[in-house]
Chains A and B, each alone.
Chain A
Amino acid sequence: MGGSGKGDVIVDTNELRFIEGHARLQVRMAGGDTVAEFQNLEGPRFLTKYLVGKPIEMAPMVASRICGLCYTAHSINAAEAIERALGIEVSKEVRELRNVLYLANNLRSHVMHLLYLTLPSIKGVISVLRLRDKDLYEAGTRLLTKSTELIEVWGGRSVHVPNVVVGGFGAVMNGRQLVSSVHELEGLMNDARKFADYAIELDLPELERYRPLGSLRNPGHYPTYAEDASMVLNDGSLLTSDEYYDSITEVTKYYSTSKHAYFRNSELTVGALSRVILNRRHLKPEAKSFAERVEWRMNPFLIIKAQAVEVVHYMEELIAAGQRLGDIMVEPSKEGAASGVNCSASQGEIPDCQGTGRGFFVAEAPRGALCHACEVENGKIKSYKVYTPTAVNSKSIELDAAEFVKKFRPLGVEKMRYILEDMTRAYDPCLSCAVSLDIY
């Protein structure tokens, strides 16, 4: 990659192993200062650019392709952003089912990250398949298979779900059909407990650094997907989702294929750790008791434990949702059924829509607050923006890396390299997601 930076490289991770996408972390001395560069090496796919000029109904389908792990979050956020732009109201039932899909998606993503990507390196094995604790691998695999199956039943396919459309759902969703698949989750609660227990007992490096944390707040609930949520920071301040969106600036980095997203011109850490620190009183009972076993500090390694707590929480939420689902029946969005100011949706198609407006939506995707924003003009997408949690966290990753090298340089390059790699991985970065804020 061209445009190499100035200064002597102290630590270079080379291509990071066990992460989603391709990235590299370099820490160098520049002008007497230790600076880190979190380099996205993933090529852009120009997905948001593609959406410009396209009919609005295509947004959820194209946005889904941003990520192979949190596609459901992207397609739901896209549908919501478009609906908001056009003033399309969806029913309470649609929201309830979107929430369930969101939970299943976050559960799947967390289990995948913890089991396949995080544990091997921390336990010093080459693969999760070489883990000494066979039961753990089997428990994790069962959770992964089940959460994938839930997404398939509700979304119409296990990856890149076609059933999430503007206006609601493409096909009739009968709550009763879904109850049985949720009931089966109860049988996997022990697997979730085992999994969380294992992660919470892990011995992880201490790397505390004060920084602003951000998480959505959904009054009375632990935040995931909500109709209207505000952003809470660790200084106690509360921002509406508009204010949060307006606080973000895009910063181009000469060393990265994606822009970084700065919050108030600086860093913000979003994700599981921020959610747990800022909202843990709203965790479901078992998840809360797991959370009580950890001393929560601003140490990125604790994201691993926060994700483990959330695995239990998502299971409990899904099981609780299952008890409500029995009475739900969501018709496919019909013409007129989801009537808005300008347009009406019919199974995701919005015929002859001449609507104009701006819309955006924020929800807690697996890796943190995910924001989709769009402008619609005469029924066509005029602009589309995706602020992913990885783009927001990039600055924190860099500051953590620089701080770590400053403090622990005597450890030597080899040791620092491994710890830096584990630290970056703990953030659960997704470079395929981040590159949707591309630099063309």
Chain B
Amino acid sequence: MRLAFYALTSCEGCLTTLITNLGPNVEVLWKMFDIDYFKLVREPVGGTRIPKADIAFVEGAVVTDRDRRTLTEIRKNSSFVVALGTCASSGNIAYTASRDVDFEAKHLRDLEISPAEPLSSLVAVDFELSGCPVSAEEFTEALLRLINSIEPIQPDFSVCYECKSKGNPCLLDAKKVCLGPLAMGGCGAACPTVGSACYSCRGPAMEADLKAYLLTLEKKGIGKEKALMMLRMFTGKKAKELLKDGR
């Protein structure tokens, strides 16, 4: 089976996470599969050409024309495309940050730069592994399912679920804005566990109910403006969809 790993516009933190967190298992992957493209791990087969692959993992948002061309080629040559991480699945911070940039400015036009988009704005995406960064465990699970012809699944619980099971005190009770109730779990509630608010870096949870969340904030006497700003940060294009539904 052929795998390929690509990075479009990103910090490459997702691919790096896979390398460092899989540790010695990178070698297991290398032996089990034909990895034809993984710029940080091997010299690509066929140089700059995008090779045929059974599963392509794509990190990053689409920002440059180069990203567009690469992604279109990847889609053409790959049977199954997985969006790897939040940039690829929602556009991440770049999505919101690039909405009010003047892309008609000469140098941006010359360099063929456009507002950031998630992969799904351009091509069909078969599965999304969310997270900023992705979790190596979720990657492994998805891969194991795929090679056994089982559909991969996303966590169907919110960050609150994991946060509560860790026994953390609720940040909302302390009158701090936290997006835990809206956010897709699977991260082990990494941020609330160290006392920082959840910014929903994995995108909205399946059960995300914005109306109910805003009501909760109101009951607790927390202003909603900051929450909405936080929601637009990582959740990018998906926040837009959520906000549309919630109002």
Contact = CB atoms under 8 A, between A and B. Distances in A.
Nearest to A113: B40
Interface string B24-56: 101100100000000111111001100000000
B87 to A, nearest CB: 8
A317 B26 CA distance: 29
A159 B13 contact: yes
B219 to A, nearest CB: 20
Interface in A1-17: 1-3, 14-15, 17
A49 B42 contact: no
Q: Counting chain B CB atoms within 10 Å of each CB, which of A58, A62, A65, A117 scores highest?
A: A65
A1 B23 contact: no
Interface string B146-183: 00000000000000000000000000000010000000
A15 B64 CA distance: 15
Contact of A45 (B15, B30, B94, B196): B94
Interface string B80-99: 00000001000011101110
A68 B11 contact: yes
A67 B40 contact: no
A138 interface: yes
B240 interface: no
A289 interface: no
Interface stretch (A18-26, A210-218, A366-374, A396-404): A18-26
Contact of A348 (B11, B23, B116, B196): B196
B20 to A, nearest CB: 4
A120 interface: yes
Contact of B191 (A41, A127, A162): A162
Interface in B204-221: none
Contacts of B15: 68
A121 B107 CA distance: 34
B200 to A, nearest CB: 12
A357 interface: no
Contact of A440 (B19, B105, B190): B105
Given A49-B97, A127-B41, A129-B27, A69 B16 contact: yes
Interface of A: 1-3, 14-15, 17-18, 20-22, 41-47, 49-50, 54-55, 58, 61-62, 65-69, 71, 108, 112, 116-117, 120-121, 126-129, 137-138, 141, 144-145, 148, 156-160, 162-163, 165, 169-171, 252, 254, 256-257, 332, 347-349, 432, 439-440
Given A45-B9, A62-B93, A145-B23, 13 more contacts: A3-B111, A43-B116, A46-B97, A47-B97, A50-B233, A62-B233, A67-B13, A68-B14, A120-B43, A156-B194, A159-B17, A165-B196, A171-B194
